[in-house]
Each structure stands twice: as structure tokens, then as C-alpha cells.
A and B are shown apart, each in its own frame.
Chain A
Amino acid sequence: MDYTVIIGLEVHVQLQTRTKLFCGCSTRFNPDHPNTQTCPVCLGLPGALPVLNREAFHLGMKTGLAINCEIPSFTKWDRKQYYYPDLPKAYQISQYDLPMSQNGWLEIEIDPETRETKKIGIIRAHLEEDAGKNSHDESGRGHDSKVDLNRCGTPLIEIVSEPDLRSAREARTYLEELKLLLTYIDVSDCNMQEGSLRCDANVNLHIQQENGETIPTPIVEIKNLNSFRGVEQAIEFEVQRQWEAWQETRLSLHDVPKETRGWDADRGITLEQRGKEEAADYRYFPDPDLAPVTVTDAERDKVSSELCERPALRRNRLEKEYQLSAYDAAVIIDQGLAFADYFEQVAKGCQNGKQAANWVTQDVLRELKEGGLEISAFSIKPEVLAALLEKVESNEITTKSARTVFQELLKSEEAAPGVESIQSIIEDKGLAMVSDTGALEAAVQTVVAKNEKAVADFQSGKQAAVGALIGQVMREVKGADPKVVRELLIKKMS
């Protein structure tokens, strides 16, 4: 007996608007000052009415288009009704049967070896308002529970995938690719710690019987997945648990209703959850307070034209256009849009993509990490780095000297030293490549004369002996090109 793992993900992403979905309150993450970002609308006070935030709808359209969805010309708002203290109206304004985008896909790489990719279907992506946050007395002494409504009304887009994912690993890859895409198109910061990206996973197994029949096991929705690792581990656990449960009970999807389990990251297990999910009838109906939204072809095209190149396409292009390794291209893309832009400016400026990639993924990235900086705040601007690398390309300075210049630029008192700083540092430090062969030859002469043993070693076939001599010459003549020095030494000693 064998089985196939069937996974679909429901991802809630907080859209980065300044204000909430249906009122003017700030969406800032502000748990230390509960209930300060509220108004009659998001508090659900009697008589208050929602007004659609057009920016949220715009970001929703951007998201839908980025995941290759259709954007229907007509969409509406529905009330999803349930009682919970974090939901002051006792309904959530969401979208039920006519979502604002549907029938899309996201391509992921499922095998890094073969570079095989797979399109994961997306059923729908719809807008809805977030709920507030409850905090309960954990002491067991029965103190009051508290409700913070700062988050209540924040715009979310819920992206529901087809059950196309076949392993925990694929689910994680899908989620990572989705996060990368959404940060690229600048609709969300996708910060899982602050809850701006949340994921529920629907998991079951298709058991292949000896007789060729396939039996689906009961579907389990796993909640409380708040890290990429958590998603992967929880699904792995759940697959194993369902396999064992199947062997024990032989219960199929038709015997048991959908179950909700929560992921306990500390214990590494999923646990049966009780709560609002049990009352499954949300009594959805169209919200009479909000007019339906119509979208024209022109509006859709306009949003489409605002979309930047998707990360997957850009990754491929970087590989081809700059002859990068898949690894380098992925590292660059994973750092986000601004970083990839930085790389491309450097690569174009110095005319050597490979060299630009080395510098950007090593030197630049190291400095960013150490300084805890964003690329936009990095003091060496791409045109400056490009100019520096160009000097290496044209043999004006050595790579080693370039690193010295790089460090000097970082120490500069200017917020963003200009291209001209490069030349002055080269001059100050005497890093210019020595093209005066007379001085070089003299130095080679001196070094060869002083190192009889090394010369003898070399002449007896020990090529490595040259290395030590190169270093000595370089110390004599700063800015000497090691390749030239090597050639001169070999000529001299042969």
C-alpha cells in the first residue's frame, strides 16, 4: 500500500496600506498600545458604516494579477457571521461567491537538481478585514480576557491554492515563493512574526489500494502555522499521523467531517482544536452597506502595467543575461527587489555580471548583514561600486586594492561618497596599478638577488616558490599587478 500527500494552503496576507480596509484608522503594528487605533467603524459602534479603502483594492488587484488570476469585472462584499470577542460587529466583511480574483497559478521549483518546476493552481484570492486579538488569562485564575482591536479592520488578502502540493517541502517552497513575490510587488511586508503572513494547511492522503482504488483520508485543516519551518514540520507530522490513523481506523473522508487541528511548535505535534470552526454555518449574505465594485478593462490593464517583473522570471533572466550561476541568481533575487535592482545597476555599470554578483552577494551582503541595513540605506551607491569594479576590469587597480577602496568608502564621512572619492582613495593609498615597468623590474631584480634558495627551488621545478616572491615584490611596489609580477619573476628566473 502506498499513498499520495494532498495539500492545499490558505494564506492570509496583510496588505500594506496606511489605513484600514473600511475606515481611516492606522494599520501600524502596535500591540503595546491596545485599542488606540480604532474609531466607530472598526469598533462596530451602532450607526457606523464602512467605506472601501481604494488603495487596499488596488493592492488586491496587484496581488491577483501577480498570481496570474482573472480579475472579474464585478465583485461584491459579503458578511461572514460568527460570534467571537475579537469581532465587534459579530461579522467579518469578506467575499463569498464573487471574489475579486480567481483561477490563477504560481510556479515553483520542485527539484533543485533537475530545475523541474510545477504550476500550483490558485482557486481564488479575495479581500477581507482582519479581526482583533484576544488575550486570555493563562494563569487559570479566571481573570478577565482582554481584546485589542488595533488590528481589527486591517486589509487582508486570502489566497487559496488548489490541493496541488504533494509534500511538506513543496508547501514550504510555495509559501516562500509566494512571500518573495508579494514583497517584490510591494503589496505586503509578509512579516510572519507580526502576523502579516499567516498560513493554514489542508492536508490529507490518497491511499492507493491493491485493487487500484484510491481512498482519501479525512481532511485536516492545520492552523497556527507561523513560520516556514512550522509549515513544513506540521505537514510532515500530520502526514505521518494520518497514515498511522488510517492503518488503525480505516476511516475515509466520507466517514469523518473536516477536522481542525492546531500546530504546537514547542511539542512538534498537531492537536485537535475546538472553537468557532465547529459552528460551520456562517450565514454569508451580501453586505447591504457596501456597493459592489466594478472593474473596467482599462483599470485592470493599468494595474497590470504597474507590476514589476516577477521574481521567478527575473531569476531566469539574471542567469542568462549576466551568466550567473543559479545559486547566485537565487541569492540576489531572494534579497528583494531593491537589492536585485542594485545588482543590475552594478553589473551594467562595470560590464561584468559575474564580478558584480561576487561583490554584491559577498561584500555588499556581508556589510548589510553586519550593519543590519537595507540596501536602500547602504552608503556605497550602485554607480560607485560599478565605477570601482570598472577600474578592476580595466586593470587600473587590483581586486585586492578594490577591497581596500571599498572599506575606505564605507569609512567615509559622507553619507554617500561619490565616484570621485574612488580616485582620491587610490591616490591617497597609492593603490594605482604600477605600469612603470622600470620600477617593477628593479624590484624583481632586488628580490631575486635576495632569495637565492627560492630561485634555486623554482629552477628545480617547484612552481610554488614563485608565490612567496610575488608577495615580496608587491610589498616593494604598491599597486603592482600580481599577474605582471609573476610573469616578470618567471622570466627573470628561467
Chain B
Amino acid sequence: MSITSATASELLAKMNAGEVSSEEITAACLAEIARRDESINAFLSLQGETALQTAREVDRKRKAGEPLGKLAGIPVALKDNICATGTTTTCASRMLEAFTPPYDAHIVERLRAADAVLIGKTNLDEFAMGSSTENSAFKITANPWNTKCAAGGSSGGSAAAVSAGFAPLALGSDTGGSIRQPASFCGVVGLKPTYGRVSRYGLVAFASSLDQIGPFARDITDAALLLETIAGKDQRDTTSLDAAVPRYTENLEQPLKNLKVGYIEHLHEEGLHEDVQKATQQALDVYQSLGAELIPVELPHARYCVATYYIIAPSEASSNLARYDGVHYGYRAKQFDNMIDMYAASRGEAFGDEVKRRIMLGTYALSSGYYDAYYLKALKVRRLIRNDFEQAFQKVDIIASPVTPTPAFEIGELTDDPLAMYLADIFTTSANLSGIPGVSVPAGMSQNKLPIGLQLLAPPLEEERLLRAARMFERETDWHLKRPE
């Protein structure tokens, strides 16, 4: 096993055994990035020098026997919509191309305190709006399994970085599937925690009531390790939950007894790719072989998820992105006639098409005369979707489903058809709308040698159950051990 394909837990064990140093690991990651990122385009910026400095400092502490954090010496990549001092946070937008935040996001503080090595900022769809990382203003991230294919999105850079061997761990954000979908496309583990489990302070807002930061990793154990490092109440985010954070890694190996796995029957019929359907069925079979009971669940309002999502998310986005007006920071147009024109020109020149499309959708939905018909109605449907899950979880412990209807599509395949792209969010948006945790675990390969993920969902704050159930599956399969080349 090479350094760049090892998991964080394996690397920690090796460092503790004195077999490898953090500097060597970090240098190996940087070398791999140098070798291959030109064709993958996972990173928007690299902090190689400071990463190596941090690595050497951790090595010194480890040698001196000083106390070390949970992730001491492990390289971690950050999606470039998470603020960290010392480098730009661009959100893959011309608007923030030169923006360097004066503060660290809450999770960045946590990572630094855990002695993690922050190696670079990863590519995304502009302001996290998209499902393919094709909406980045700077570059398109390719899928490490097949560079003609999309890495998924919006956290495509982070998923690709973990998949390609650039970093064992990465952070992303998930508003409608932006962690789980690229994880599924790239064959890695991606987890969206319960809304409020992780502080959003320092995450550049897309849709505040849906956004949640979460881990990318090469297996469930690493995802658990990273989640327990970043989760917990933060006074600066009043939507963060004041609930104790379990040690997720501790009882991960204990299987859940009498596990009831819910599955959705009717969704399987609509436009689901054959390979995805097969992988999902095989995963259910694995659970059954482990003694779990399979129970069909009804989510009557699931078919309204995408419509609801594409009203609520753009509405909040239209408000959250209004601050980028060229007045205080960010891009300002060179030529303008007056104040209003300065706003219009700055925003018109610096935002990409997808961002503009969503700002217009959201502005419309919140406008006087339309608010009740769109935004308010969407909020009501959201409540019904949440109720569906509450009822389903009375009967089952977790719900298993595909992550996406198809494996990774080709770059450019859907760019002219935003609606088709939106509809692919059918399995993922419900977790954001109802605030529940969800994880994508590697669960198969398509005939075209592209990874396929399995999505597991659990009730709010049941990440421990989610991870243990996922680990049960992972132990029986070897999909998570496959690496692209």
C-alpha cells in the first residue's frame, strides 16, 4: 500500500509507529498533485509550503512526545467555499477571485487544533451551485476514474482529491447532495451530517437552511474520525446543535442488532440506470445476509423534493449572494455610470450563468405577489417531506437508496440541460430538506468502470447509527478498497 492510497487511520498508525513522517506524507501528496492534478483539476490553490511547515512541526511534536490532536500530520483538503486565513476563498467565482478571509471557519479552527495539515483548497461549482463542478469559473474537475467524466458536484474537487490520492481526507459542503453525489461518482465515502451537527460559521452561504459541512474519506472509519473532529456546538452559529458529540470511531466495529433497513419501492422505476439499480439491490442483499430485515417505506412527498428544493435553495441564495455587490469587497466593474449601474455591472460581469439563473429564480419566488405561491408553499411541502421521514423512521432504522440515478456522466453531457441536471438530485435533496444525515458509500462499479454509491439515511443526530450501519456493509464488501488509475 502506497502512502497516497492509504487511509488516514493507516497513516496515523504508521506515523505513531515511526514508519513514516507527516512531512513524507505531505510531500508524497504534493508530488501526486504535481504529477496528476493537471489532468484532474481538483485544486484551486495549494498551500504546499505552509503544509510542509505544519507537517514538520507535527513531526517535531510527535518526536518530543508532546500531546497531539486527532488528525496530527494528516493532509486535509478544503472545499474553496470554507474560509481559512492565509489564502484566498474564491467559491470558484470571479466575484471572490481575490478574496482572502480575515478569519478561520469554525471547522478550520477545529482542524488546526487537531494538528491536521491543510494542504489546499479544492474546486467546486461556483458558490456550490451545481452537480458537476463544471460551473466553476476557473476549471472543470475531471473524474479520477475516467477524466472524460464529471467528478460530480458541487464538492467535485474534494471528492476527486480523495479519490485521486491527493489527500486522504477532505471537507465539502452539501446543500442538495453536493457531498454525497461527487462521493458516489468518485468512489469515496461522503457524509452529510444532520443540519446543525457541524457549525456553518465560515462556510460561505449558498442556502443557509440546507447547507452543511461534511467529510470525504476513503473509508467509513476515516469519515467517522473526521466527523468527530469537526462536529459540535459553536456559539457563533445559532443553528448549530447543542448535543453531545459521540466518539463515532469507538464502537464503529460493533454491528447493529436487529437492523431494519428501509428501501423505497416506487422510485426504482423512474429513469434509474440499470447498473445503479443492480448495485442497490446487491447492497440490500448484503444487509439481508447480515440478518437485517428489509422493509419497504413510503415517502409520499418524495416526488416533490426537487421542485421544493429548487424554490427554497435559490430563494435563500438570492438573498445570501446579494452582498456581492462590488461595494465593500470582491469584484467591482471597471466601467459604470452610477451606483445602480455599478451594482449591475459588477454582478453581471462576475457571476456565471448558473449563479445568475438561481438568483433570478429565487428573486422571483420571493417577490411580492409570488411569495405565497412559491416560497411559502415550498416551506409547507418541506414540512410534509420531513413528516414522511419521521413516519418512515418509526418503522425502520435506516433507509437505503441510490445516490444518483446514473453513474458519472460525461463532462459537457448535461450542461445545456439544467433541468436534467436538477432532476438528478432526486435522491439527495430530501436529506437536506428534512435535515437528516446521509452518507454515500462505495457499493459497485458500472460496466463502464465508474463507481456507484449507496446512500444511507438516518434520523436526525443518528450519525453513529448511520456510520455503524455503513461499516457493516463496508466490512462485507471491497468496493472501498478500489482505487482509480
Q: Which residue of A lies closest to B83 (CB)?
A: A47
Nearest CB of chain B from residue A358's CB, rounded to whole Å: 55
Q: Does any Cβ of A come within 8 Å of B23's Cβ?
A: no
- A47 and B109 CA atoms in complex are apart in Å by 14
Given A40-B102, A285-B315, are A47 and B204 neighbors across the interface (CB < 8 Å)? yes
Given A40-B103, A47-B83, A83-B322, are A147 and B235 neighbors across the interface (CB < 8 Å)? no
Asked whether A51 lies within 8 Å of B325 as measured between CB atoms, the reply is no
A234-288 residues at the B interface, CB under 8 angstroms: 281, 283, 285, 288
Q: Which residue of B lies closest to A51 (CB)?
A: B238
Nearest CB of chain B from residue A1's CB, rounded to whole Å: 37
- A89 and B318 CA atoms in complex are apart in Å by 12
With most chain B CB atoms within 10 A of its CB, the pick from A40, A52, A283 is A283
Asked whether A45 lies within 8 Å of B339 as measured between CB atoms, the reply is no
Q: Does any Cβ of B come within 8 Å of A90's Cβ?
A: yes
- A290 and B368 CA atoms in complex are apart in Å by 23
Given A81-B322, A285-B371, are A46 and B99 neighbors across the interface (CB < 8 Å)? yes
Asked whether B205 lies within 8 Å of A46 as measured between CB atoms, the reply is yes
A26-51 residues at the B interface, CB under 8 angstroms: 40, 43-51
Q: Does any Cβ of A come within 8 Å of B336's Cβ?
A: no
Q: Does any Cβ of B come within 8 Å of A291's Cβ?
A: yes
Report which of B205, B340, B375 forms a contact with A47, defined as CB distance below 8 A.
B205
With most chain A CB atoms within 10 A of its CB, the pick from B200, B325, B329 is B325
Given A40-B102, A52-B238, A288-B208, are A47 and B203 neighbors across the interface (CB < 8 Å)? yes
A82-105: CB near B (< 8 Å → 1, else 0) gives 010100111100000000000000
B residues in contact with A44, CB < 8 Å: 323, 328
- A290 and B99 CA atoms in complex are apart in Å by 26
Asked whether B316 lies within 8 Å of A47 as measured between CB atoms, the reply is no
- A283 and B329 CA atoms in complex are apart in Å by 24
Given A47-B203, A283-B363, are A289 and B327 neighbors across the interface (CB < 8 Å)? no
Q: Does any Cβ of B come within 8 Å of A315's Cβ?
A: no
Q: Does any Cβ of A come within 8 Å of B455's Cβ?
A: no
Q: Does any Cβ of B come within 8 Å of A124's Cβ?
A: no
For this complex, into which size category does the number of interface residues on chain A fall? 20 to 34
- A291 and B238 CA atoms in complex are apart in Å by 7
Majority secondary structure, A binding face: loop
Q: Does any Cβ of A come within 8 Å of B76's Cβ?
A: no
B residues in contact with A291, CB < 8 Å: 238-239
Nearest CB of chain A from residue B207's CB, rounded to whole Å: 8
Asked whether B238 lies within 8 Å of A49 as measured between CB atoms, the reply is yes
Nearest CB of chain A from residue B128's CB, rounded to whole Å: 12
Asked whether A48 lies within 8 Å of B201 as measured between CB atoms, the reply is yes
Asked whether B200 lies within 8 Å of A49 as measured between CB atoms, the reply is yes
B residues in contact with A285, CB < 8 Å: 315, 319, 366, 371, 375
Q: Which residue of A lies closest to B379 (CB)?
A: A286
- A453 and B428 CA atoms in complex are apart in Å by 115
Asked whether B367 lies within 8 Å of A81 as measured between CB atoms, the reply is no
Asked whether A46 lies within 8 Å of B238 as measured between CB atoms, the reply is no
Q: Which residue of A lies closest to B330 (CB)?
A: A46
Asked whether B209 lies within 8 Å of A288 as measured between CB atoms, the reply is yes
Asked whether B205 lies within 8 Å of A45 as measured between CB atoms, the reply is no
B197-226 residues at the A interface, CB under 8 angstroms: 200-205, 207-209
Asked whether A289 lies within 8 Å of B101 as measured between CB atoms, the reply is no
Q: Does any Cβ of A come within 8 Å of B343's Cβ?
A: yes
With most chain B CB atoms within 10 A of its CB, the pick from A44, A47, A81 is A47
For this complex, into which size category does the number of interface residues on chain B fall? 35 or more
Q: Does any Cβ of A come within 8 Å of B237's Cβ?
A: yes
Nearest CB of chain A from residue B316's CB, rounded to whole Å: 6
A residues in contact with B329, CB < 8 Å: 45
A residues in contact with B102, CB < 8 Å: 40, 45
A residues in contact with B235, CB < 8 Å: 51
With most chain B CB atoms within 10 A of its CB, the pick from A46, A52, A290 is A46
- A285 and B368 CA atoms in complex are apart in Å by 11
Asked whether B101 lies within 8 Å of A46 as measured between CB atoms, the reply is yes
- A90 and B101 CA atoms in complex are apart in Å by 19
Asked whether A49 lies within 8 Å of B319 as measured between CB atoms, the reply is no
Asked whether B91 lies within 8 Å of A289 as measured between CB atoms, the reply is no
Nearest CB of chain A from residue B369's CB, rounded to whole Å: 9
A residues in contact with B323, CB < 8 Å: 44, 46, 88-90
- A48 and B180 CA atoms in complex are apart in Å by 25
A108-133 residues at the B interface, CB under 8 angstroms: none
B residues in contact with A49, CB < 8 Å: 200-201, 236-239
Q: Does any Cβ of B come within 8 Å of A79's Cβ?
A: yes
B residues in contact with A290, CB < 8 Å: 238
- A281 and B367 CA atoms in complex are apart in Å by 7
A residues in contact with B367, CB < 8 Å: 281, 283
Q: Does any Cβ of A come within 8 Å of B96's Cβ?
A: yes
Given A83-B322, A88-B327, are A46 and B236 neighbors across the interface (CB < 8 Å)? no
B residues in contact with A283, CB < 8 Å: 318-319, 363, 366-368, 371
B residues in contact with A289, CB < 8 Å: 205, 208, 238-239
Q: Does any Cβ of A come within 8 Å of B280's Cβ?
A: no
Asked whether A47 lies within 8 Å of B239 as measured between CB atoms, the reply is no
- A147 and B326 CA atoms in complex are apart in Å by 13
Given A89-B323, A285-B366, A285-B371, are A83 and B343 neighbors across the interface (CB < 8 Å)? yes
A residues in contact with B91, CB < 8 Å: 46
A residues in contact with B82, CB < 8 Å: 47
B residues in contact with A85, CB < 8 Å: 327, 339
Asked whether A46 lies within 8 Å of B319 as measured between CB atoms, the reply is no
Nearest CB of chain A from residue B230's CB, rounded to whole Å: 15
Nearest CB of chain A from residue B311's CB, rounded to whole Å: 11
Q: Does any Cβ of A come within 8 Å of B150's Cβ?
A: no
- A48 and B104 CA atoms in complex are apart in Å by 10
With most chain B CB atoms within 10 A of its CB, the pick from A48, A50, A81, A88 is A48
Nearest CB of chain A from residue B472's CB, rounded to whole Å: 35
- A47 and B202 CA atoms in complex are apart in Å by 4
Q: Does any Cβ of A come within 8 Å of B411's Cβ?
A: no
B166-203 residues at the A interface, CB under 8 angstroms: 200-203
Given A46-B91, A47-B203, are A83 and B325 neighbors across the interface (CB < 8 Å)? yes
B residues in contact with A45, CB < 8 Å: 101-103, 329
Asked whether A91 lies within 8 Å of B319 as measured between CB atoms, the reply is yes
B residues in contact with A89, CB < 8 Å: 322-323
A residues in contact with B99, CB < 8 Å: 46
A residues in contact with B368, CB < 8 Å: 281, 283
Q: Does any Cβ of A come within 8 Å of B89's Cβ?
A: yes
Report which of A43, A51, A52, A90 forms a contact with B322, defined as CB distance below 8 A.
A90
- A379 and B114 CA atoms in complex are apart in Å by 59
Q: Which residue of B lies closest to A43 (CB)?
A: B328
Q: Which residue of A lies closest to B315 (CB)?
A: A285
- A51 and B233 CA atoms in complex are apart in Å by 13
A residues in contact with B325, CB < 8 Å: 83, 90
B residues in contact with A40, CB < 8 Å: 101-103
Q: Does any Cβ of A come within 8 Å of B105's Cβ?
A: yes
Q: Which residue of A lies closest to B200 (CB)?
A: A49
With most chain B CB atoms within 10 A of its CB, the pick from A49, A83, A85 is A49
B residues in contact with A43, CB < 8 Å: 328
- A126 and B89 CA atoms in complex are apart in Å by 36
Known: A47-B89, A283-B318. 8 other contacts (CB 8 A): A45-B102, A46-B83, A46-B91, A47-B82, A83-B343, A89-B322, A285-B366, A288-B208
Chain B residues close to A by CB (< 8 Å): 82-83, 89, 91, 96, 99, 101-103, 105, 200-205, 207-209, 235-239, 315-316, 318-319, 322-323, 325, 327-329, 339-340, 343, 363, 366-368, 371, 375
Q: What are 24 A-B contacts with C-beta separation under 8 Å?
A: A40-B102, A43-B328, A46-B91, A46-B323, A47-B89, A47-B101, A47-B200, A47-B201, A49-B201, A79-B319, A81-B319, A81-B322, A81-B366, A83-B340, A85-B327, A88-B323, A89-B323, A91-B319, A281-B368, A283-B366, A283-B368, A285-B319, A285-B371, A288-B207
Top-5 shortest CB links A-B: A90-B322, A288-B209, A288-B208, A283-B366, A46-B204
Chain A residues close to B by CB (< 8 Å): 40, 43-52, 79, 81, 83, 85, 88-91, 147, 281, 283, 285, 288-291
